[in-house]
Amino acid sequence: MYSEKVMDHFSNPRNVGEIPDACGVGEVGNPVCGDIMKISIKVEDNIITDIKFKTFGCGAAIATSSMVTEMAKGKTIEEALKITKQAVADMLDGLPPQKMHCSNLAADALHKAIEDYKNSQDK
C-alpha cells in the first residue's frame, strides 16, 4: 500500500520539532481525517535555513510532513512556494488515493509558514 520512501519517512521522520524563534509558522488541519500539521521555518537572506514540523495524524501525514521539510530546506522562499501537493506525493513515490489529502496538508502548512514569514516582514 505504501512505498518504501513513505515507510522510511514515517519510521525515521526528518526535522521533527519546533523552532522556538521561528520566522514563520503554519498550521493546518483536516477535521475529516483528524490530521493536524504545524511547520515552523527559519529564514536568512531569503533562504529557508531551518524547518521543523509537528504532526498529529496517520503515517502518510507524518511521511509527507517529513518529506516537505526535506524538500524546502535550503531553498529560497520563491522556490519553496513552488512545492505542490503533487510534488510531495511524487517524491514519496506516490500515495494511495485515499491518502492524497495528507500531502495537501503538508504543502499547505509550508505555504502558510511562508505567508506568516512574509506578513511579519511587511510590518
| All structural domains of the chain | 4-118 (3.90.1010.10)
Element (H, E) at 64: helix 59-72
Residue 123: its pLDDT value, please?
A: 67
Q: Hey, what's the cell of 57?
A: 495524524
Catalytic residue list contains 58: no
- Catalytic residue chosen out of the listed positions 7, 33, 36, 47: 33
Q: Which residues of 26-47 are buried (b: 16+ CB within 10 A; e: fewer)?
A: bebbbeebebbbbbbbbbeeee
Q: Distance between CA atoms of 60 and 66, rounded to whole angstroms?
A: 10
Catalytic residue list contains 23: no
Across-strand partners of 56?
A: 36
Chain segment 68-102, per-residue pLDDT in tens: 999 999 999 999 999 999 999 999 999 988 887 76
Which residue shows C-alpha cell 477535521? 31
Mean pLDDT along residues 63-71? 97
**Where does the pLDDT of residue 111 fall: very low under 50, low under 70, confident under 90, or very high at 90 and above?**
very high
Q: How many CA atoms lie within 13 A of 9 on its CB side?
A: 29
DSSP state at residue 75: -
- Is pLDDT of 122 > 90? no
Which residue shows C-alpha cell 503554519? 26
- Catalytic residue chosen out of the listed positions 102, 105, 107, 110: 102
Predicted TM-score (pTM) of this structure: 0.93
Residue 88: its pLDDT value, please?
A: 94
Chain segment 4-55, per-residue pLDDT in tens: 999 999 999 999 999 999 999 999 997 777 889 999 999 999 999 999 999 9
Residue 68: its pLDDT value, please?
A: 97
